[in-house]
Amino acid sequence: MSALQRLFKFHGGVKPAYNKEASTGLPIAVAPTPTLLVIPLHQSIGGMPRPLVKAGERVLKGQRIGGADGNASSAVHASTSGAVVAVEMRLMPHTSGLSALCVVIEPDGRDEWIARQPFDFRKASPTQTRDYLRDAGVVGLGGAVFPTHLKLNPGKHGKLDTLVLNGAECEPFITCDDVLMRERAETILKGAIIMREMLSARQVLIGIEDNKPEAIAAMEIAAQAANQAAGDLAMQVVSVPTRYPAGGAKQLIRVLTGIEVPHGKRSTDYGVQCFNVGTAYAVYEAIALGQPLISRIVTVAGNVGQARNYEALFGTPMRDLVALCDPLPDSDRVIMGGPMMGLLMPGDEVPVVKATNCVLVGSRKLFPPPPPEMPCIRCGECAKACPADLQPFEMYWFSRAKIFGKAQEYKLFDCIECGCCAYVCPSHIPLVDYYRFAKSEIWAREVDKEAADIARERYEFRLLREEREKQEKAAKLAAKTAAGREKAAAAIAEAAKPAATPEDDTKKALIAAALERAKAQKEQVHPGNVSNLTPEQEAEVTAIEARRAEIREMAKPHLRQDD
Amino acid sequence: MLEAILVMAFGALVLGAALGYAAVRFRVEGDPLVEKIDAILPQTQCGQCGFPGCKPYAQAIAKGEAEINQCPPGGEEGIHKLADLLGREFKSLSAEHGIEKPKSVAVIDEQVCIGCTLCIQACPVDAIVGAAKQMHTVVAPLCTGCELCLPPCPVDCISMQSTGESVENWKWKYPVVKINPAQREST
Amino acid sequence: MSEPIEVTHRESSVLRISVRTAAIMLAFTLVFTAMMAGTYKATEPLVAASALAEKLRLIGEVLPPGGYDNDLMADSIILPRQIILGLDDETRIWRARKGGMPVALVFEAAALDGYSGRISLIQAVDADGRLLALRVTAHKETPGLGDYIDPKKDKNKTRPWITQFSNLGFDTVPRKKWRVKKDGGRFDQMTGATISARAVTNASGRALAWAVEHRDKLFALPANSRFEESKP
Amino acid sequence: MTSYLFVVLGAVLVNNVVFVRILGLCPFMGVSKKLETAVGMGAATTFVLTMACGASFVIDRWLLIPNQLEYLRTLSFIVTIAAIVQLTELVIQKTSPLLHQVLGIYLPLITTNCAVLGIPLLNVSLRHNFLESLLFGFGSAVGFTLALILFAGIRERLEAADVPVHFRGTAIAMITAGLMSLAFMGFAGLDKYK
Amino acid sequence: MSAYKEIAWNGIWKQNTILAQVLGLCPLLAVSSNLVNAVSLGLATIVVMMLSNFAISALRALIPYEIRIPVFILIIAALVTVIDLAFNAFLHDMYLVLGIFIPLIVTNCIVLARVEAFAAKNGLRAATLDGLVMGIGFVWVIALLGAVRELIGQGTLFSGIEMIFPTLSGFQILPVEYPGFLIAMLPPGAFFVLGLLIAGRNWLDARANERMREQRTHHQVEHATSAPA
Amino acid sequence: MNNSPYFLKPASVQSVMLRVLVALLPGIAAYVWFFGAAILVQIVLASVTALAAEAVMLRLRDKPVMLFLSDGSALVTAWLIALTFPSIAPWWLTVLGTLLAIVVAKHLYGGLGQNPFNPAMVAFALMIVAYPLLMSQWPKVDATDFAGQWEAIFGSRQILDAMTMATPLDALRTVLRDPEQRAMIGGILGSKATFGNVGGRGWEWIATGYFLGGLYLLQQRIITWHMPTAFLATLFVVSGAFALYEPDRFAGPGFQLFTGGAMLAAFFIVTDPVSGATTPRGKLIFAAGVALLTWIIRTFGAYPDGIAFAVLLMNIATPLIDMYTQPPVFGHKDKRGDSP
Ligand SMILES: Cc1cc2nc3c(=O)[nH]c(=O)nc-3n(C[C@H](O)[C@H](O)[C@H](O)COP(=O)(O)O)c2cc1C
Ligand SMILES: Cc1cc2nc3c(=O)[nH]c(=O)nc-3n(C[C@H](O)[C@H](O)[C@H](O)COP(=O)(O)O)c2cc1C
Ligand SMILES: Cc1cc2nc3c(=O)[nH]c(=O)nc-3n(C[C@H](O)[C@H](O)[C@H](O)COP(=O)(O)O)c2cc1C
Ligand SMILES: Cc1cc2nc3c(=O)[nH]c(=O)nc-3n(C[C@H](O)[C@H](O)[C@H](O)CO)c2cc1C
Ligand code: SF4
Ligand code: SF4
Ligand code: SF4
Ligand code: SF4
Ligand code: FES
């Protein structure tokens, strides 16, 4: 069947040593429940979920402990039943070594589920289904942890051509998708059927790298069964050439359909959507079984005696998983993810989270420190390897010198940080580190710039107000000396009444809009010290705001002159 | 001699009239440069540059009356941007105007505050809320960290707290390079 | 500087300003042009005299003053543009005589094919058709490389390169051999800068040939008349 | 026809104003830090220089030479040029505000460019006719623009290079200009080929 | 520092027209292929700068703002022409050497820059002094440039001086066998040597700054150690 | 500890440069065979100078000396300088050229990878402008007397006349230019037919050596096909067209490709990654530009071989070429690299 499929090529890519055999020898094992689960609240892209539990509460397995903050967020659940010990800052599985809010649960060993009910998505509206998935905490398990419910939207045309299931798993060492496909192919496809219906997709293409024959065979059988049941040929397993990063969503979509989805565009606008096979599995579990996402398959590999895939509860310390696999004595680091894109962990006590597809144990021997960085000789190897068709050395040249504008001109933000360029560079330049640095500096700068714009508006407004007050005082003084108090009021009214002309109005509207924006921004970033005010304080604040509004009104006529 | 004077006089009359006319008719109003400079300045409004706010400093730079290296909150970064914009050479931050500090916000010790409103009057961006004889609070996201509210407080209850690092605002660091020192830093 | 004027602009009319600036401009122009014109008039005779002295000095280099007794400046004829000599301006030919007998013709020529363009020459050709002497009066050849054609810059002070042409005629060096050695001729060149030498040599050859051809007519023409090429 | 082509090509490449004639160096060094400004400056200079060559030819041929006032050449040329610049500014401001936005800020700078006087004077000494004068002015200005834009391209890249501290900025720019002028020496002799 | 001293220091080093302001490059590079030419042009430039600064400072009250540039140029060009004519008439030998350079001075942007930036705003004495020292700043740089280029280019110094002082002659500094280095005399060499000079100035400035900083910290340390007592 | 990726492909600047040196060997062998061992002396001279200059500059600039000395880039520059200079040039000429290349063209710009101009070509251009005579005295073919060559390099140059001759390129130019000699192409190029004598005797074999080395570089994927192909094709087409048009005045493509530094340039000089264009389209434009300028300067210009100037001229344009030939980024294909 796969022979029928016409394949396309993506530019670049590399072929590192794959090292996948070690962890595919044994079937998936269930990792034991640890003595303490540390579940970070923020596990996916999007808003930080609000904690729904307090220390001392008892929770059941699958109970929601973090509620999605708005639609662009995803809920978090207790991985097992037990007592909430604390809701506090704990070390995150993040390179920064910083802490964030986590719910710490002491399992009671009973593993007691909440009441589970299948969700009949055929009866529900698409929005309801998406809300359900959001509250079930289903996010992409391919690595990017993007909330799945946001992607399960067919977009402006209301239907899609192709749903791509990503079983490529191109990173070395990682085999969690491979074993999942071998062992639970049918379930994955059941999930895919649900997704296909939600997206009204014509066909489902399952892309698997051709170095996973067992997985291809298993998926092939399941697909045929599914097609027979449905009476069409919608499900197709496609074996794609093994080349990193064939599993990148854009690359896989390109290989399977020939479509290139540009940076910053929704792939649904091009008639395709891509999900990881694990995600499809999780969707099935959530919809058909009513089980929220509380565990995933994690490959433990690298510098260990027995690499293997485990089904691990979120919150399990990585250390516990590593311990199951006989780590070798010279191990010196834990990496979350693969050797090409994985993140270095600040310690091995950090918990497994939704993004943890692999716990890679490293050593000096396995991952030797890179030779000293030499200057770039513009050899172009990196450009040859870049799957995004970028000019990595130009982005590096300007990132290194902190000329970020130029780096952006070379499309820095199209870089998917796959690491191919750094992998091939004969000068051993940590290219991706430069891009990460440049990107975060640029983001920080945007934030600063927004803050500066608000400050400018507020400052100019204040100047205006002061000017106004001065005039007011002068007017008052004049009025006082000239006549009685009543007349003073009249004078103020006079001064405040502008000779409004049409062109003033547009200007006024502009300024009002700007002020409105500033206000909106302020509300958005509502700080803790304002929200926790006592009622009296709040009354005060309201009063001040009212006064400000008043002054704003009075200031309007002066805006024209000042401009 | 006479021809010379005649020829030149003819030219002078034409040119003088044309130029005088042009100068009056086409005088450029306003200065877009000031806006561009102001857009680069950090809007902390702290006055460390020696001008009462960022806009006046921008005007001074545009007129050529101020150096580009007088704004400590903008830091070297800002100076580079100004140098680029104006086509001037980069200069490191002038020490007499202060040093670059990590960004911080003002925090009012609510136990001590007597509600005198002096800080409200000092704050250039109206980031402090409260009314007479009531406890005051700094609206942290609006505070630019200019420190202008510190001196007027009669009970010294305002302190600056640096805005720490969190997972959200954490930045990837400049790669540790042994061979190529950071270009701009080493100047 | 700008403020005080801005105020006035607001009130005065465009026309008045224009007239005012034009007047001031005019005043300045008058004063300074007068100054220049005055200086020019005052120095004109001096400058002319200096130019004349310079001419005489150059002539003196190729024609020793003792060799003639007439007033060269008076006994000269006008030479219209001569392409063959590389001249694109009107020049003069000075005729030296001793006791009324023709001694030599002094005239200018130019080589246009120097390394950096034009090389201006002056030379004296005697009545027997011999090149008495040749000098470079202006050139732009590369300093240190091609500028040896100018005896002031020639490192060989005892026998500068340019002097090898002195007192030679087609009787001693046949026309065909009036070339640099590199081209199979008789004259030396400085290796590495043949172009300059070749240009000067060829130009002098052409000048000499031209003078030989026209010398009778040139001596015969009345002073201050124009030389016209006779059409054969 | 070909001789006119030679005038232009010669002025652009072989006798490039900046690298061979050594004119217009101050703006060449000063306005080449960014490509954008270099293009603007080049365009403005091209316009002004072509105009200046035409105007100075007219003045020289019809006013100065008939009246034997050659000694007023420098004076009258430069004053005319200064006026052309200001009048150009006036005209484009009136007719094309867009163009004015692009070129406006460069116009005053052009008068500091000594090529703008040098080229008209060269026109006189090279005895160009009116068309040749215009073409020579245009060609020289294109040569100037070319030099400026290429130089700006290199300088933008150099800004990120690890140049030794004392050489950063003007010093390395000078050395780069030297190497560029070395490269332009490769064109030597092309204008003499027949 | 007194005002005059500061003007002098500015002209000679701190605001040096070439090394700091990077102005007036064309005559500088075009005429510095040997020392004699360089100094000659430099001296002529000093004269023009002093006179034009003087004249414009004297007349500044009469010049309206909007036509100041044409008027400045008019004055400078007139002065240069007068000087040119005067040289031709009275110092003819000198004129033959300098003659071609004098008109070049009009196009030297330094002259206009100084007139505009200084003379138009300052008194007679200060303006004339400024013209002088700015000229001196130009002269020493062009002389250094000329000397280096001549020495590297052909191993001599003061060659061609006999054109000004017929009794003198240039010096052969390097051995006669020295093959010369033509590049130094050509435009690329001019750029290279000037680049090196500017780098040299940067180096000296950096060293002076370093010294000053050291001195200051030294000072502070002393201060700190003595203060507690 | 470093961030991802955690393992790298085994590749290094050093191995790249070493393979470039290896690729030069066939050409050098042919050189020695036809023109004697003097070229080896020049290579040693240039190498020693380059390494010493590099070490001093690295020291002055406070960089790790050994790390950079061993990268081999200075050696590539040095060898190319030696191969483009006449093999019997006086020792100081080679030393001075190499010194200027390493110090001015390379280290003043920040050293390896930062130089906008090709250092070897800067050396060549500086020297041919400064010493046009010394730079055009080439050894006679088959005059492989080593003692004499040694004497020419280190001792007096009196004996030179016996052992020099004009290169084919030089001969062609001088003779063709002189209107009085009325010479024709056919008569000028030597008589002893070997390879067909396409580029002058001896020279075509050296060029063939470089060609073989170039194929090795291509096979090793150190260079891509773009530059050599564009360079050779452009030179072929331009010279071919003019030779067809007027065979007596313009030398044909066989001569142009196999004489002077054409082959060396095609595979080793225009391909310098640091100073040349980097995008695929940019490489084509760059190399074609070098070829075109080379032909123009060879045919109409004042200097015997135009390659150095052509390379430097295109180096000047490189930043702009690179900027305007960016390949379209993934997903931006229809818009020619502009983001929507
Ligand atoms: C370089 C790179 C390689 C990737 N490799 C894989 C992969 O092998 N398998 C996979 O499922 N997702 C991979 N991803 C993530 C996909 O781009 C994409 O996020 C994912 O397939 C979307 O599915 P999800 O939302 O279900 O996670 C990779 C991403 C990048 C940038
Ligand atoms: C920058 C430069 C300037 C040169 N200047 C001159 C010159 O002024 N006069 C000259 O004859 N040759 C000059 N040449 C040399 C010519 O290019 C040419 O090589 C030489 O004249 C041929 O002489 P030859 O046949 O003796 O080798 C110069 C060369 C260069 C590179
Ligand atoms: C070095 C230098 C040279 C200048 N040369 C000229 C010039 O030749 N002609 C001219 O009109 N203005 C010249 N200027 C003046 C400025 O370019 C510009 O005209 C002035 O600063 C402001 O112009 P405005 O008259 O439009 O206000 C020069 C300025 C400097 C600093
Ligand atoms: C294929 C290739 C070609 C090279 N060509 C040159 C060259 O032409 N000239 C040169 O100086 N260095 C050359 N190098 C060496 C190196 O790139 C050069 O020294 C850098 O320009 C120094 O920064 C070359 C290197 C490689 C890999
Ligand atoms: S692979 Fe490395 S050395 Fe080569 S161009 Fe890319 S960054 Fe530069
Ligand atoms: S990390 Fe970015 S630049 Fe490097 S190869 Fe991947 S996409 Fe291209
Ligand atoms: S120093 Fe303060 S007031 Fe001045 S520009 Fe900078 S932020 Fe604004
Ligand atoms: S609260 Fe204080 S520090 Fe913050 S902006 Fe206001 S005055 Fe400045
Ligand atoms: S002297 Fe400044 S541009 Fe020529």
Q: Which among A373, A374, A382, A431 is the best mutation to test ligand 5's pocket, defined by most ligand atoms within 8 Å of the CB?
A: A382
Q: Which residue of F has its CA nearest to B183?
A: F110
Domain assignment present for residue D2? The answer is: no
The DSSP secondary structure of A343-396, one letter per residue, reads EEPS-TTSBP-TT-SEEEEEETTTSPPPPPP-------HHHHH-TT---HHHHH
Q: Distance from the CA of B146 to the center of ligand 6, in angstroms?
A: 40
Element (H, E) at C133: strand C130-138
A245 preceded by a cis bond (ω within 30 of 0): yes
Asked whether residue F337 carries a pLDDT value surpassing 50, the answer given is no
Output DSSP code: residue C206: H
Domain assignment present for residue D3? The answer is: no
- Cα–chain-centroid distance for residue F298? 15
Give the pLDDT of residue A506: 52
Give the pLDDT of residue A546: 55
Tell me the pLDDT tens digit for each residue of A230-248.
888 889 999 999 999 999 9
List subunits contacting chain C, requiring 3 or more Cβ pairs under 8 Å.
Answer: B, D, E, F
The domain tally of chain C equals 2
Q: Based on the fold, state whether residues C15 and C70 are members of the same structural domain.
A: no
Domain assignment present for residue C229? The answer is: no
Give the pLDDT of residue C183: 78
Question: From CA A487, how far away is CA A496, in angstroms rounded?
Answer: 14
Cα torsion D82, D88, D91, D95 to 10°: value is: -160
What is the distance in angstroms between the Cα of D1 and the nearest Cα belonging to chain E?
32
What is the distance in angstroms between the Cα of B18 and the nearest Cα belonging to chain C?
7
Ligand nearest to the CA of B94: 7
Q: A374 in contact with F at a CB cutoff of 8 Å?
A: yes
> Using the beta-carbon criterion (under 8 Å), do A522 and B139 form an inter-chain contact?
yes
Length of chain F: 340
Give the pLDDT of residue E110: 82
Q: E182 in contact with F at a CB cutoff of 8 Å?
A: yes
Give the pLDDT of residue D74: 81
Which A residues, 147 through 166, put their C-beta within 8 Å of a C-beta on chain B? Answer: none
- Lowest mean pLDDT, pick from A525-529, D78-82, E26-30, F45-49: A525-529
Ligand 7 pocket, residues with Cβ under 6 angstroms: B 41-42, 44-49, 51, 53-54, 57, 71-74
Q: Based on the fold, state whether residues C191 and C94 are members of the same structural domain.
A: yes
Tell me the pLDDT tens digit for each residue of E11-62.
888 888 888 888 888 888 888 888 988 888 888 889 889 999 999 999 888 8
SS3 E133: helix
A397 interaction partners in chain D (CB closer than 8 Å): 157, 160
SS3 A324: coil
> Using the beta-carbon criterion (under 8 Å), do A373 and B135 form an inter-chain contact?
no
Domain containing D84 equals 9-193
Asked whether residue D105 carries a pLDDT value surpassing 80, the answer given is no
- Return the number of CB contacts < 8 Å for B and C: 64
- C187 φ, ψ to 5°? -95, 145
Contact assessment for residue E39 and residue E101, using Cβ atoms and an 8 Å cutoff: no
> Using the beta-carbon criterion (under 8 Å), do C28 and E153 form an inter-chain contact?
no
D68 interaction partners in chain B (CB closer than 8 Å): 3
Domain assignment present for residue C232? The answer is: no
Q: Based on the fold, state whether residues C72 and C41 are members of the same structural domain.
A: no
Beta bridge partners of C147: none
Question: From CA A280, how far away is CA A273, in angstroms rounded?
Answer: 12
Averaged pLDDT, C53-76:
85
Q: Which amino acid is at F29?
A: A
pLDDT band at A523 (very low <50, low <70, confident <90, very high): very low
Q: Give this prediction's pTM.
A: 0.85
Average pLDDT over chain F reads 87
Averaged pLDDT, A304-315:
94
Domain assignment present for residue D176? The answer is: yes
Averaged pLDDT, B11-17:
76
Q: Which residue of A has its CA nearest to F280?
A: A380
Q: How far is CA C193 from CA A257, A329, C142, C144, C190, in A?
A: 69, 77, 9, 10, 6
Q: Based on the fold, state whether residues C139 and C193 are members of the same structural domain.
A: yes
D153 interaction partners in chain A (CB closer than 8 Å): none
Per the structure block, which two tokens stand in for F333? Answer: 């294909």
Question: From CA E22, how far away is CA E197, in angstroms rounded?
Answer: 12
Give the pLDDT of residue A2: 43
Ligand 2 pocket, residues with Cβ under 6 angstroms: C 115, 141-142, 145-146, 182, 191-196; E 182, 186; F 129, 132-133, 302
Question: From CA C62, how far away is CA B98, in angstroms rounded?
Answer: 76
Asked whether residue F188 carries a pLDDT value surpassing 60, the answer given is no
Of F7 and F22, the structure prediction assigns the larger pLDDT to F22
Q: Distance between the two ends of chain A, CA-based, in angstroms?
A: 70
Q: Strands, E, within chain B: which ranges?
A: 104-108, 128-129, 137-138, 158-162
Range among A328-342, B4-18, D180-194 with highest mean pLDDT value: A328-342
Question: From CA A457, how far away is CA B143, in angstroms rounded?
Answer: 13
Q: F104 in contact with E at a CB cutoff of 8 Å?
A: yes
Tell me the pLDDT tens digit for each residue of D11-25.
899 889 999 888 889
Percent over 70 (pLDDT), chain B: 83
Tell me the pLDDT tens digit for each residue of A21-77.
999 989 999 999 999 999 999 999 888 899 999 999 999 999 999 999 888 899 999
> Using the beta-carbon criterion (under 8 Å), do D160 and A398 form an inter-chain contact?
yes
Q: Based on the fold, state whether residues C126 and C155 are members of the same structural domain.
A: yes
B15 interaction partners in chain E (CB closer than 8 Å): 67, 70
- Lowest mean pLDDT, pick from A47-56, A179-188, D60-69: D60-69
Q: Based on the fold, state whether residues C58 and C75 are members of the same structural domain.
A: no
Domain containing C14 equals 1-62
Mutate to test the interface with B, among C6, C11, C26, C41 (most CBs of B within 10 A): C26
Q: F66 in contact with C at a CB cutoff of 8 Å?
A: no
What is the distance in angstroms between the Cα of D79 and the nearest Cα belonging to chain A?
38
Domain assignment present for residue C178? The answer is: yes
Element (H, E) at D192: none
Angle between the N-to-C axes of helices B54-63 and A431-482, in degrees from 0 to 180, rounded to the nearest 10: 100
B181 preceded by a cis bond (ω within 30 of 0): no
Q: Distance from the CA of A451 to the center of ligand 8, in angstroms?
A: 13
pLDDT band at B86 (very low <50, low <70, confident <90, very high): confident
Range among A548-552, C15-19, C148-152, C167-171 with highest mean pLDDT value: C167-171
Tell me the pLDDT tens digit for each residue of B135-180.
678 888 888 888 888 888 888 888 888 877 887 788 898 886 544 4
ipTM of the complex: 0.84
Which residue carries 């010049």 as its tokens? E63
Domain assignment present for residue D171? The answer is: yes
> Using the beta-carbon criterion (under 8 Å), do F71 and A374 form an inter-chain contact?
yes
pLDDT band at E180 (very low <50, low <70, confident <90, very high): confident
Question: From CA F222, how far away is CA F231, in angstroms rounded?
Answer: 17
Q: B178 in contact with F at a CB cutoff of 8 Å?
A: yes
- Lowest mean pLDDT, pick from C76-85, D44-53, D81-90, E150-159: D81-90
> Using the beta-carbon criterion (under 8 Å), do D160 and A375 form an inter-chain contact?
no
What is the distance in angstroms between the Cα of D149 and the nearest Cα belonging to chain A?
17
Q: What is the 3-state secondary structure (H, E, C) of A4-40?
A: HCCCCCCCCCECCCCCCHHHCCCCCEECCCCCCEEEE
Q: Which amino acid is at A548?
A: R
C36 interaction partners in chain D (CB closer than 8 Å): 71-72, 75
Q: D191 in contact with F at a CB cutoff of 8 Å?
A: no
Helices and strands per DSSP (H, E), number in chain E: 9, 2
Beta bridge partners of A331: A363
Averaged pLDDT, F239-268:
87
Angle at E176 between CA E175 and CA E181, to 5 degrees: 85
> Using the beta-carbon criterion (under 8 Å), do F132 and C191 form an inter-chain contact?
no
Per the structure block, which two tokens stand in for F183? Answer: 């010479």
Beta bridge partners of C136: C121
Averaged pLDDT, E171-189:
88
- HSE at residue E41, side-chain half, CA atoms within 13 A, is 28
Q: Based on the fold, state whether residues C47 and C119 are members of the same structural domain.
A: no
Residue identifier of the C-alpha nearest atom 7 of ligand 7: B44
F67 interaction partners in chain B (CB closer than 8 Å): 179
Q: Based on the fold, state whether residues C138 and C37 are members of the same structural domain.
A: no
In order of their start, the domains of chain B are: 32-97 (1.10.15.40), 104-162 (3.30.70.20)
Longest dimension (CA), chain C: 87
- Lowest mean pLDDT, pick from B28-32, E120-124, F38-42: B28-32
Q: B43 in contact with A at a CB cutoff of 8 Å?
A: yes
Averaged pLDDT, A491-502:
51
pLDDT band at D79 (very low <50, low <70, confident <90, very high): confident
The domain tally of chain D equals 1
Question: From CA A277, how far away is CA A165, in angstroms rounded?
Answer: 6
Cα torsion B29, B33, B35, B40 to 10°: value is: -170
Asked whether residue A476 carries a pLDDT value surpassing 70, the answer given is yes
Angle between the N-to-C axes of helices F73-84 and F119-130, in degrees from 0 to 180, rounded to the nearest 10: 30
Give the pLDDT of residue E18: 84
> Using the beta-carbon criterion (under 8 Å), do C18 and B8 form an inter-chain contact?
no
Give the pLDDT of residue C9: 45
- Which residue from D156, D157, D160 is facing A400, i.e. has the nearest CB? D160
Within 10 angstroms of residue A251's Cβ, the number of other Cβ atoms is 30
Averaged pLDDT, F278-300:
94
- Which residue from F133, F178, F180 is facing C191, i.e. has the nearest CB? F133
Give the pLDDT of residue A550: 53
E near A: at least 3 beta-carbon pairs less than 8 Å apart: no
Question: From CA F265, how far away is CA E205, in angstroms rounded?
Answer: 43
Mutate to test the interface with C, among D20, D71, D87 (most CBs of C within 10 A): D71
Output DSSP code: residue F326: P
C192 interaction partners in chain F (CB closer than 8 Å): 132-133
Q: Based on the fold, state whether residues C25 and C125 are members of the same structural domain.
A: no
Of B16 and A66, the structure prediction assigns the larger pLDDT to A66
pLDDT band at A130 (very low <50, low <70, confident <90, very high): very high
Give the pLDDT of residue B34: 82
Q: Based on the fold, state whether residues C216 and C122 are members of the same structural domain.
A: yes
SS3 A113: strand
Average pLDDT over chain A reads 86
Question: From CA B155, how far away is CA B136, in angstroms rounded?
Answer: 13
Give the pLDDT of residue D153: 95
Contact assessment for residue F149 and residue F87, using Cβ atoms and an 8 Å cutoff: yes
Tell me the pLDDT tens digit for each residue of C124-137.
999 888 999 999 98
Averaged pLDDT, A196-214:
93
Closest atom of ligand 1 relative to the A419 alpha carbon: 1
In order of their start, the domains of chain A are: 21-344 (3.40.50.11540), 376-492 (1.10.1060), 500-516+545-563 (no CATH)
Of A272, A232, A230, A280, give the one whose Cα is nearest residue A252: A272
Contact assessment for residue D139 and residue D6, using Cβ atoms and an 8 Å cutoff: no
Asked whether residue C56 carries a pLDDT value surpassing 80, the answer given is yes
Q: D159 in contact with A at a CB cutoff of 8 Å?
A: yes
- C165 φ, ψ to 5°? -85, -15
Q: Which residue of F has its CA nearest to C198?
A: F178
Closest atom of ligand 5 relative to the A421 alpha carbon: 1
Element (H, E) at A238: strand A235-240
Question: From CA A229, how far away is CA A221, in angstroms rounded?
Answer: 12
SS3 E104: helix
Domain assignment present for residue C228? The answer is: no
Q: Strands, E, within chain F: which ranges?
A: 138-139, 164-165
Which residue carries 């310079």 as its tokens? C54
Q: Based on the fold, state whether residues C68 and C36 are members of the same structural domain.
A: no
Contact assessment for residue E140 and residue E12, using Cβ atoms and an 8 Å cutoff: yes
Asked whether residue E228 carries a pLDDT value surpassing 60, the answer given is no
Question: From CA A268, how far away is CA A284, in angstroms rounded?
Answer: 21
Q: Distance from the CA of B132 to the center of ligand 4, in angstroms?
A: 74
